[in-house]
Each structure stands twice: as structure tokens, then as C-alpha cells.
Chains A and B, each alone.
Chain A
Amino acid sequence: MDKRREAISKAMADFLEIPKDLVLDLPKVTVIGQNELYLENHKGIIEYSLNRLRVNLSRGFLEIEGKDLEISILMPEEMKIIGEISVIKYVD
């Protein structure tokens, strides 16, 4: 059921040429260099420590590994992470 709706939404987004992060509620990740990461459309924090940060997404979660990680801005829809980032991993 859910998968079908998703497929329809995707087809609609393709047809109308609308950005998918808006239609499908997909995360948008912007990485600047190694030290800054912007994440939009997140669904909350699962785990946070200095070396690892796991952020909930609409499907699965995002795992960020690094050193001295810090969430410098935290808002309902977006966040900014600073620190020495080494791994960005999508986990289903």
C-alpha cells in the first residue's frame, strides 16, 4: 500500500518536474568540505555522541561518523552539524 503510494508520488514528481525532496519528503544533505553538514527533512535524533550521530529519516536513518561532532543548529525540519566528518552512511 505504502509502496504503491510512493511509486505514484515518484511518477508524479517526475512528470511535473518537481523536486523530490518536497514531494516525497526525502532528506536533503549538503556537505561543505569536511566540517559542515546541513540536513533537511529529518525526523529527529536517535543517538548522539561525539563520534557518532544517527538521525531518523522518513525511511531509514542517516549515520554520521566523525570526531568532535556538534549540532550547531537544531530545528524541527533541519539541522547543521559541525565537526570532523569521516563517514556519511544511509541505513535502511
Chain B
Amino acid sequence: MMNKFFNQISGIIQVNIKGKKPEKVLNMALSRGIYIWGVKKVNDNIEFKVRSNSIEALKNIGDESNHEIEIISKEGLPFLTQVLKRRLGFITGILIFILALYFMSAFVWFVEVSGNKYIKNEQIILTAAKYGVYQGAPKWSFSRTKVEESILKDIDSLAYVKVDIRGVKANIEVVEKVLPKSDITGPCHIVATKDGVIEEVLVLEGRANVKKEDVVVKGDILISGVIIPEVNPYFVVPELEDEEVAEEEPTLVRARGIVKAKVWYEGYGECQLISEKINITDNKVTEIFLITPWQKYKLKGDNKRNFALAEEKVTIKEVNTPIGNVGLIKIVRQEKVKNIKKYSEKEATNIAKDKAISNLNNKLKGDIKVNTIDMEVLSAPSDLILRVKVSMEVIEDIAEPEPISMEWSGKDKYN
């Protein structure tokens, strides 16, 4: 095995010996340590193979013993170079191709961004382009770590940037910062977000402006951030000579607190007393046609089964050829069955009510406690559709901070 491999590397020459006693040449070659194989008698001559590096020694033997040595064929690696010389254009073509491929792979051809949710791709791509990572940028012209640092500096809302270059693709992986919600730090009121009846007031800071069972509308101040100093009834002012004491400036605070109120929501739902529903069954028929420019052939499928109601799905795969269109058409017919269902008035009411409540629940968000649910039938008894209105009384937090505008002036507006 290995021997054949080395033979190929050093090159194999097949020779033909002409002369009186070719065996003599074999024996002389043997005594001089020439490796010979594939000895075969052809007519009166002997043919055999030797390695190309021992051909000179063999020629000497031939001269000494008066035998004619003729080279029949050459094979192996050393003789391959001659073939290559003949095909110089081809070889240079391959080399140019490899070089071009190598050269082209030294550029960035695609830029991709991943990991961003709120920041737009364009912004990141533009910023990266500013620091040298753009389509067509040579890879040696930028340093990955520097680009990463620069992008991080430029886009504040990024926490991490990784520029990964794989072949001709630059993948920019980013992680966005999760910023805390901007909180109001200055003085503010707590106002109502909805109309309702106050159920519970808990003041953490500020002055309560409403009490239980007060009716408020949207925008009303529930907890005021303006505290007007009051005179302590238990604190006896010694003398009222100095009047400036009474006219103390009100202080502004950031009001905090929880205000829960009864709020009403209305939802609407309906249900048809007689409903038609179309269901898809498992029965289906598949037909496959072969299209040729001359005719349409059916490959599969039968026409015997026809459905009263069916859904047809047609997929066409066509190729445009010079002689016309060739392709396949697949038609799948899926059977449908009509289901008719009648509801009694009670059932219909329940369905309509459920629909209305689920509609309402979609609207409601957050921590909400449902107090009572009222239902009212809107439709007349003879109607085919049963309509229902559901009103829901819930208790929810309606407090919302609103900064106090400093442009306001005058004490009368501090309420």
C-alpha cells in the first residue's frame, strides 16, 4: 500500500528491454539494488517498471550488456508537472480565482444587527458605519474592540455591543439598557384618572382633598401637594403682635398615596339564537396535474368523490422554459360540513353575558377588584339576536401623580 504511494511520488517509468538475454539485465539490476516490479514478457522482450530515480543506472546496465532500453510510459508526480506546463492558462486561472476569492473575503459584505428591541437597526448600522463597519469596508481598516467601544459611547441606551465578524458577515450584537421609569421628583398632586366614587383614601404624603363617598371626575385633585400651614388649635399663640406669623408660605411636597374608587364599566355581548357553523372534516381529495406546453395530464386523483361544500387549495409550481411552461399543480379539496345549532333563550343569554364579560376583562388591566356585575337584556323577545349589556362595578386605584406647574400663582389655585 505505502509502497505504491511512494512509487507515485518518486515517479514510475515502464521500460522495454530488447536484446539477446534480457534476464541478464534483470539480474544486474538486482545486484545493484534497483527495485523492479511488474516484470512481464511481451513477445521476445521484457517489460517492467522502475522508479524514475533509478532509470539512469538501468541505462548504464543496458549499455554494459548491449541491450536496448526503451521507455514506454511515465506516470507519477514528477511527470505531472509537464502536464501542468501544458495547461498553464488553466492553472493561472485557478490561481487568480483563489486569489480573487481571498481578496474579496477580506471585505465586509453584510452587516446585521441583532438583539435590539427599541433602538432602530438603521441607527446602529449608521453608527457602526461611522467607525468603519459598513458594506464594502475592508476588514483591516477597523479594530473590532474600538468599534464596539465607540458604538457604546455614541448610543447611550446600549449596555453591551459585540461586533462579530464571520467571513464576510459582520454581526453586531447589542443588549439594550433597561432604564427605570422616569419618576416625578418635583412637587406634585395626585389626580384622578377616571370618574368614580371614592372608596378609600390613604395619604402617605400631602393633604387629602377628598373623602370616602365623594364623587370625583377625571382630573380632580385627590391628594394635594400643597400644604397650607394650619394653626395648631392646641398651641396657644402667646401674642398676635407680629402678623407675619399668620401669613406663612405654603410648602410644596410630592404627594403620595393610594386612592381607591368605585368605577363602572359597560360591556356588550350578543348571541344568535340560531347559529350556523362550518366545520372542516378529515375527508380530503388530492389531485396532481402535470402541465406541459401542449397538454395538462392528470397524475393522481379521482373525480368520483365530490363534496357538497369544500375548501380548495391550489399550489402551482411552474418553470418558464423556452418551449413553454412546465410544472405541477396540486389541488387539495377539503370537505366542509355545515352545523346548525339552536339555543334557548337562557343559553343564549348566558353566552352573550360571557362574551360581554370577556370583552370587559380585556379592557381592564392591573390590580382590580370586581364588586358587582349587573346585566340588562337590550333586545326584544322576537329578535333573532339576543343582545346584552353588562355593567360592572369595580374598585380600583385611580391615583396618578401630576406635577405642579410652577407658573401658577396665587393661593386660590393651590387647591
Q: Do A and B come from one complex?
A: yes
User: Measuring CB to CB, which residues of chain A are less than 8 angstroms from any residue of chain B?
Assistant: 44-50, 69-76
Residue pair A70, B31 in contact (C-beta under 8 Å)? no
Give complex CA distance A75, B22 in Å: 16
Interface: B238 (CB within 8 A) = no
Residue pair A45, B38 in contact (C-beta under 8 Å)? no
Chain A residues with CB under 8 A of B35? 74-75
Residue pair B48, A74 in contact (C-beta under 8 Å)? yes
**Can you spell out 12 A-B residue pairs with CB atoms less than 8 angstroms apart?**
A44-B30, A44-B31, A45-B26, A48-B22, A48-B26, A48-B41, A71-B48, A72-B37, A72-B39, A74-B30, A74-B35, A76-B31
Chain A residues with CB under 8 A of B87? none
Question: In the assembled complex, how far is the CB of residue B173 from the closest CB belonging to chain A, in whole angstroms?
Answer: 63
Contacting A at CB under 8 A, from B14-72, are: 22-23, 26-27, 30-31, 33, 35-41, 46, 48
A45 with B27: in contact, given A72-B37, A73-B37 (CB under 8 Å)? yes
Chain B residues with CB under 8 A of A76? 30-31, 33
Residue pair B39, A71 in contact (C-beta under 8 Å)? yes
Residue pair B41, A74 in contact (C-beta under 8 Å)? no
User: Measuring CB to CB, which residues of chain B are less than 8 angstroms from any residue of chain A?
Assistant: 22-23, 26-27, 30-31, 33, 35-41, 46, 48
Question: In the assembled complex, how far is the CB of residue B57 from the closest CB belonging to chain A, in whole angstroms?
Answer: 14
Residue pair A45, B40 in contact (C-beta under 8 Å)? no
Residue pair B23, A47 in contact (C-beta under 8 Å)? yes
Give complex CA distance A45, B39 in Å: 12
Chain A: which residue is nearest B37 at the CB level? Answer: A73
Chain B: which residue is nearest A54 at the CB level? Answer: B23
Give complex CA distance A44, B29 in Å: 10
A74 with B36: in contact, given A44-B30, A49-B41 (CB under 8 Å)? yes
Residue pair A74, B37 in contact (C-beta under 8 Å)? yes
A48 with B37: in contact, given A74-B30, A74-B48 (CB under 8 Å)? no
Question: In the assembled complex, how far is the CB of residue B13 from the closest CB belonging to chain A, in whole angstroms?
Answer: 15
Give complex CA distance A16, B41 in Å: 44
Residue pair B31, A45 in contact (C-beta under 8 Å)? no
Give complex CA distance A50, B40 in Å: 8
Question: In the assembled complex, how far is the CB of residue A40 from the closest CB belonging to chain B, in whole angstroms?
Answer: 14
Residue pair A50, B41 in contact (C-beta under 8 Å)? yes
Chain A: which residue is nearest B31 at the CB level? Answer: A76
Chain A residues with CB under 8 A of B26? 44-45, 48, 74
Question: In the assembled complex, how far is the CB of residue B96 from the closest CB belonging to chain A, in whole angstroms?
Answer: 45
Residue pair A48, B38 in contact (C-beta under 8 Å)? no
Residue pair A46, B39 in contact (C-beta under 8 Å)? no
Give complex CA distance A71, B22 in Å: 14
Residue pair B39, A74 in contact (C-beta under 8 Å)? yes
Question: In the assembled complex, how far is the CB of residue A79 from the closest CB belonging to chain B, in whole angstroms?
Answer: 9
Residue pair B23, A45 in contact (C-beta under 8 Å)? yes
Most buried by A among B23, B36, B38: B23
Question: In the assembled complex, how far is the CB of residue B6 from the closest CB belonging to chain A, in whole angstroms?
Answer: 14
Question: In the assembled complex, how far is the CB of residue A69 from the closest CB belonging to chain B, in whole angstroms?
Answer: 8
Chain B: which residue is nearest A43 at the CB level? Answer: B27
User: A44-B27, A48-B23 known; 13 other A-B pairs, CB under 8 Å?
Assistant: A44-B31, A45-B23, A45-B26, A45-B27, A46-B23, A48-B26, A70-B39, A70-B40, A71-B40, A74-B26, A75-B30, A75-B36, A76-B31
Chain B residues with CB under 8 A of A46? 23
Give complex CA distance A72, B39 in Å: 6
Question: In the assembled complex, how far is the CB of residue A3 from the closest CB belonging to chain B, in whole angstroms?
Answer: 27
Give complex CA distance A75, B33 in Å: 8
Give complex CA distance A64, B387 in Å: 113
**Nearest 10 A-B pairs (CB), nearest first?**
A71-B39, A44-B27, A74-B36, A45-B23, A70-B40, A73-B37, A50-B41, A76-B30, A45-B26, A48-B23
Give complex CA distance A12, B23 in Å: 36
Chain A residues with CB under 8 A of B48? 71, 74
Give complex CA distance A69, B42 in Å: 11
Give complex CA distance A47, B24 in Å: 9
Chain B: which residue is nearest A49 at the CB level? Answer: B41
Chain B: which residue is nearest A56 at the CB level? Answer: B27
Most buried by A among B26, B30, B31: B30
Chain B: which residue is nearest A83 at the CB level? Answer: B40
Chain A residues with CB under 8 A of B27? 44-45
